[in-house]
């Protein structure tokens, strides 16, 4: 009877596995590949060819620094190699010399198709040499390599059509979801990225990118739920262990170093975060997210010409900069008394960072007695979850290291009508 029962149980378990519906395998998008060809020179003299010589090679080198795309150099004229597609996208361009300037235009299109998906034109002074090539390549790469750029629109659209990955997670899809969360700051986007990363980590436990994204998501979760100045050290140590594994797996990833810097910053290890942001920038100078994150940290600590310069370049260079890029200029405008700019930047920032954005807009509106603007942001200020849970000033002291600025903000918020109870504690 015991043997019979064991056999019967085995049959039931086997049938359950066979009959259980399994997730359907979807035709998921792979990370994009791009073939870069030499730029065609249109010039009346021989200055043009020298001005863009090596640009294609430099572009391939720079684009390969981004973890979520592949780039190859192509000298041919066909989009195929031995009958197979060379790459999903092709980057071509022209260089035209006119009146002491070389105008360089890059154009992105799908392989085998003519319409341009993206174009950008830069002007170089004739004779600037290798420095111009480096800067031109980096400027083009800043937009092409971004997860919000034209190369990734197919993947982002696919994710919109497939809200449930159901076992079809890939490192590329997780990276797109993580990038979408960083750009939007929305809770549902964070949950989707977290599910993708955690599910795939079970199958790929040594992926540097997955480990780093998991650590970054954990840090954001901790900041949302733990009281300022009263962090439970164990979860943050868990995040640190994830980053140790990520760096051990790939110490040359700019994204890994950038997210590591984010963790160090939120742990209060600012000198180490400074060095980590520096490493991210050195490994990939076209990583605008790293530049914007570094700028935010610098400006929240006090006046920083370097921080403002980094933030302005990131905003000007990005193809549709995400709202959090405006943290540094918003805080600097408030600090310097440029209240109209502070309101504009604060309103942009509040889309993804309601804590800093609403504070900046409320204080600036109070200064210029803009009652309609003040009333709108005053209501939003008092609805911010962490402010209600922990108090406005404790949260600001956690995020802004410039204590003089925090004290000034507290006095101006009180003058604007915020109660002392709301400023100091739960309300």
Phi, psi of 272 (to 5 degrees): -70, -35
Q: What is the pTM of this model?
A: 0.89
Q: At what angle do helices 254-266 and 233-249 cross, to 10 degrees?
A: 160
- Confidence (pLDDT) at 375: 95
Query: How confident is the model over 392-410, as pLDDT tens digits?
Result: 999 999 999 999 999 999 9
- Confidence (pLDDT) at 4: 59
Above 90 in pLDDT, residue 145? yes
Query: How confident is the model over 283-340, as pLDDT tens digits?
Result: 999 999 999 999 999 999 999 999 999 999 999 999 999 999 999 999 999 999 999 9
Above 90 in pLDDT, residue 356? yes
Q: 427: Cβ–Cβ under 8 A, 6 or more apart, which residues?
A: 382, 387, 388, 391, 419, 421
- Residue 128 is given by DSSP the state -
- According to DSSP, the residues that pair with 105 across neighbouring strands are 94, 121
Return left, alpha or beta for 99; rule: phi > 0 is left, psi -120 to 50 is alpha, else beta: left
- Confidence (pLDDT) at 97: 79
- Confidence (pLDDT) at 232: 79
Dist CA 242 CA 214 (whole Å): 7
Residue 321 corresponds to which tokens in the numbers above? Answer: 């900069």
Dist CA 364 CA 1 (whole Å): 82
Dist CA 6 CA 326 (whole Å): 65
Q: 182: Cβ–Cβ under 8 A, 6 or more apart, which residues?
A: 289, 322, 324
Query: How confident is the model over 221-255, as pLDDT tens digits?
Result: 998 888 887 777 899 999 999 999 999 999 999 99
Above 90 in pLDDT, residue 86? no
**Where do the structural domains in the chain lie, given as residue ranges?**
33-145, 300-427
Residue 216 corresponds to which tokens in the numbers above? Answer: 């970054």
Helix (H, G, I), strand (E, B) or coil at 350: coil
Query: How confident is the model over 23-61, as pLDDT tens digits?
Result: 556 789 999 999 999 998 886 655 544 567 789 999 999
Dist CA 384 CA 354 (whole Å): 7
What's 33-145's CATH class?
alpha beta
Strand-pair category, 116-125 with 70-73:
unpaired
Band (pLDDT 50/70/90 cuts) for residue 18 is very low
């Amino acid at each position: 009877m015991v043997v019979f029962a064991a056999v019967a149980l085995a049959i039931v378990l086997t049938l359950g596995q066979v009959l259980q519906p399994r997730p359907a395998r979807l035709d998921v998008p792979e990370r994009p590949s791009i073939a870069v060809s030499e730029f065609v020179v249109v010039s009346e003299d021989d200055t043009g060819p020298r001005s863009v010589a090596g640009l294609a090679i430099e572009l391939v080198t720079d684009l390969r620094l981004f973890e979520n795309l592949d780039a190859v150099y192509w000298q041919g004229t066909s989009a195929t190699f031995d009958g197979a597609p060379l790459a999903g996208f092709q980057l071509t361009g022209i260089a035209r010399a006119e009146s002491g300037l070389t105008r360089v235009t890059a154009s992105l299109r799908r392989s085998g198709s003519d319409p341009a998906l993206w174009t950008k034109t830069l002007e170089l002074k004739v004779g600037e040499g290798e420095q111009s090539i480096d800067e031109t390549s980096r400027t083009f790469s800043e937009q092409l390599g971004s997860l919000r750029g034209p190369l990734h629109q197919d993947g982002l659209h696919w994710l919109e059509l497939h809200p449930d990955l159901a076992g079809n997670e890939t490192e590329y899809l997780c990276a797109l979801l993580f990038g979408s969360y960083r750009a939007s700051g929305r809770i549902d986007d964070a949950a989707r990225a977290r599910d993708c990363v955690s599910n795939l980590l079970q199958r790929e436990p040594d992926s540097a990118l997955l480990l780093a994204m998991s650590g970054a998501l954990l840090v954001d979760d901790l900041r949302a739920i733990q009281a300022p100045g009263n962090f439970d050290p164990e979860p943050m140590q868990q995040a640190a262990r994830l980053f140790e594994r990520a760096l051990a797996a790939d110490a040359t990833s700019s994204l890994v170093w950038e997210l590591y810097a984010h963790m160090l910053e939120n742990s209060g290890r600012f000198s180490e975060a400074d060095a980590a942001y520096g490493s991210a920038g050195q490994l990939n100078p076209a990583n605008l997210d790293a530049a914007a994150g570094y700028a935010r940290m610098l400006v929240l600590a006090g006046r920083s010409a370097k921080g403002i310069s980094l933030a302005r370049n990131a905003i000007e260079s990005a193809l549709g900069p995400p709202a959090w890029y405006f943290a540094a200029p918003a805080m600097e405008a408030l600090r310097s008394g440029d209240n109209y700019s502070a309101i504009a930047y604060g309103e942009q920032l509040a889309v993804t960072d309601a804590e800093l954005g609403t504070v900046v807009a409320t204080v600036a509106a109070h200064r210029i007695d803009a009652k309609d603007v003040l009333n709108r942001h005053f209501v939003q200020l008092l609805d911010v979850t962490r402010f209600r849970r922990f108090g406005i000033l404790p949260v600001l002291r956690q995020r802004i290291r410039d204590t003089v600025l925090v004290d000034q903000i507290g006095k101006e918020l009180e003058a604007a009508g915020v109660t002392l109870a709301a400023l100091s504690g739960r309300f």
